[in-house]
Amino acid sequence: MTKSNPVDVLVIGAGLAGLGLTLRVAQAGRRVTILAKGQLTEGSSLYAQGGIAAVFGKHDSFAAHIQDTLTAGAGLCRPQAVEYIVRRGPENIEWLIAQGVEFDRQSGADGAPNFHLTREGGHSRRRVVHAQDATGQAVENTLEALVRAHPNVTVLENHIAVDLICASKLKADPPERNLGAYVLDMTSNHVSPIAARVTVLATGGASKSYLYTSNPDTSTGDGIAMAWRAGCRVADMEFVQFHPTCLYHPHAKSLLISEAVRGEGGKLLLPDGEQFMQHHDPRGELASRDIVARAIDYEMKRHGYDCVYLDISHKSSQFISEHFPNIYKRCLEFGIDMTEQPVPVVPAAHYTCGGVLTDLNGRTDLLDLYTIGESGFTGLHGANRLASNSLLECLVLAESASNDIVKRIDSRSDQAYELPHWDESQVTDPDEQVVVSHNWEELRRSMWDYVGIVRTDKRLRRAQRRIALLQEEIRDFYSNFKINNDLIELRNLVMVSELIVKSALSRKESRGLHYTLDYPQPEKTSHPQDTILVPTNFVGAHLNPLWTSEQQHSSA
């Protein structure tokens, strides 16, 4: 046993949600330890190109942004969450500016204070605040510097959380409480417990469960899997967003071609130069992401094409290089000059709309455990995320959760308590590490083939059978050998993939990002239900009553 004084807040994950909450809590005078699997900014937020959706234009309104979000969400957005998050967008942009983030501005632009606002798919107005085409990088780098310099923050890079530490396992009171987490130092390969008054999961989504993704290697669903194992509910995991346009090139691992390229006039073309989006939706290239991705998938399969093309070469070279300098530069590295030729693109897994069920302060079913950002489920996105609402949610939930956490810490005094050491006495060094890499490849291929943009029950059951076999092998490996980050991530990805498939099988309709040939139409109901999965070790709901009355479709 280790007896230790807990840190005030343990933040697991260092994207915009994690960094934003860390900085706010630290500025409020509380001690924070933040974990990053790699370098502090190496998460999905760093690669966000388009920007942050917020109402600033004089021809825009909260009502319009709310309606666009509800429309994209295909009937499954929670209206209270949408209104809460949309209305807090402008003040959170102003908070970022106060921290030193510089957004693009334009003299005489349609908006105050003269932001250059772009328009993306699904938006009826120009409302996306951005920093050229590298908004995530601008925000992350600014917050990273502030977090590193703050005296109340301890930064642990190259550390990955293994599992949460629940009071119920220690027979502590109350049992429905989280006490911290076991953490692997990837440099020393040593696991230690970190005690915390409050633990925050800000680990991002699980797009790495698919063969092709726009996300970095860190997107392995760690927070969702850990919360599920600890007894928390998850919701709407079937809704995996595929970004319509990632660069198709054998050496381009995950290069996203921003939604803003279509927002500024880019056209999708077949290899013979024919436009096709007008046959799928009257909004053409500005249709929501689910429709555009499905249209591209349909055309590729119908004709047997490896890719389609995104063309903005009709714009001037100056316009392209000024609006998309980073995309332009990266494409040139692969021999593609987007000022003169169309860019080959394919859809790729991009965003996990479902996640750990939370209220609008990020509170989960487990006391003292919060989840924010892509790993959480507030109900903002519904069946399909509206472009550039993801960073908005990260910002707003980081603010509301930090306020709630500070109040909770101040309302009680915690005593030091004992946490058990990580037990490795019965395990050995792995003798067949290749098993992990083979299982990783099999999982990602099965998810891509059977749980992709277009689904059937038959395909989903095939995936379910393969995932069950992988689960068995990984449990055996996990129980008998010393763990490393590859095994931890694979264990989490297989768990989250199981939740995605289970959720998809339970939804007997097509809605938003979940499109199945067996049920091609949405159910005719004015009140569609979320898919809420309940673990067998469910700890009991401690959420805002707003979230406790929903129908729970299935349990595991």
Residues taking part in catalysis: 289
Paired tokens of 170 = 């220690």
Say if CB 194 and CB 7 are below 8 A apart: yes
Say if CB 162 and CB 191 are below 8 A apart: yes
CA distance to 264, 413, 416, 522, per residue, from 525 (Å) = 36, 49, 52, 8
CB atoms within 10 A of CB 201: 34
| Residue 97, Ramachandran bin (φ over 0: left; ψ between -120 and 50: alpha; else beta) | alpha
Separation of first and last alpha carbons in the chain: 32
Paired tokens of 167 = 């009071």
Give the span between the Cα atoms of 127 and 452, in whole angstroms. 30
Give the span between the Cα atoms of 118 and 132, in whole angstroms. 10
Q: What is the DSSP letter of 123?
A: -
Tell me the pairing of strands 234-235 and 532-534. antiparallel
CA distance to 76, 288, 347, 555, per residue, from 527 (Å) = 8, 22, 30, 21
Paired tokens of 199 = 């633990």
CA distance to 72, 227, 517, 537, per residue, from 358 (Å) = 21, 11, 31, 17
- Axis crossing angle, helix 135-149 with helix 389-410, rounded to the nearest 10: 20
Give alpha helix (H) positions in 249-388. Answer: 259-263, 289-303, 317-323, 325-333
Q: What is the DSSP letter of 363?
A: B
Give the span between the Cα atoms of 514 and 493, in whole angstroms. 19
Give the span between the Cα atoms of 354 and 366, in whole angstroms. 18
